[in-house]
């Protein structure tokens, strides 16, 4: 039952994070991010760069090779600080319940 709750909370996190930064699949190397406004590639990020965004005031997570800036959502997250467990890293397993 607890695992279902965790999965549900993570799902709500992703649905609430409408400010998704689309990512291309590039095997962990620098990944291109498309700009939401222009549809053009704006810059690429590495996992190392994403890892620097690991605090309550600057929180990015990776789910299935896509980066989500969830900073505005941290305080509203129904699971509390659970969202910070993988801040700056890959949250795919937690999101998918693996």
CA 11, 14, 58, 80 dihedral sign is: negative
pLDDT at residue 2 in the model: 79
DSSP letters, 27-81, are TTS-EEEE-TTT-SEEEEE-HHHHTT-EETTEEEEEETTEEEE-GGGGGG-TTGG
DSSP class of residue 21 equals E
Which residue did the predictor score with more confidence, 93 or 31?
93
* Closest listed residue to residue 59, CA positions, set 4, 16, 6, 5: 16
Please state, in angstroms and rounded to a whole number, the distance separating the CA atoms of residues 81 and 56.
9
Query: Which of the four pLDDT bands, split at 50, 70 and 90, describes residue 94?
Result: confident
* Closest listed residue to residue 83, CA positions, set 51, 58, 61: 61
List pLDDT tens digits, range 40-67. 455 677 999 999 999 999 999 998 888 8
List pLDDT tens digits, range 1-40. 778 877 777 766 666 654 454 544 444 444 444 434 445 4
Which residue did the predictor score with more confidence, 18 or 80?
80
């Amino acid at each position: 039952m607890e695992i279902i709750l965790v999965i549900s909370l993570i799902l709500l996190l992703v649905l609430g994070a409408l400010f998704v930064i689309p990512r291309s699949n590039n095997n962990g190397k620098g990944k291109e991010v498309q700009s939401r406004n222009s549809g053009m590639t704006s810059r690429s990020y590495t996992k190392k760069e994403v890892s620097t965004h690991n605090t309550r005031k600057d929180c990015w997570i990776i789910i299935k090779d896509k980066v989500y800036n969830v900073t505005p959502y941290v305080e509203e997250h129904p699971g509390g600080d659970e969202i910070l467990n993988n801040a700056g890293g890959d949250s795919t397993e937690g999101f998918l319940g693996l």
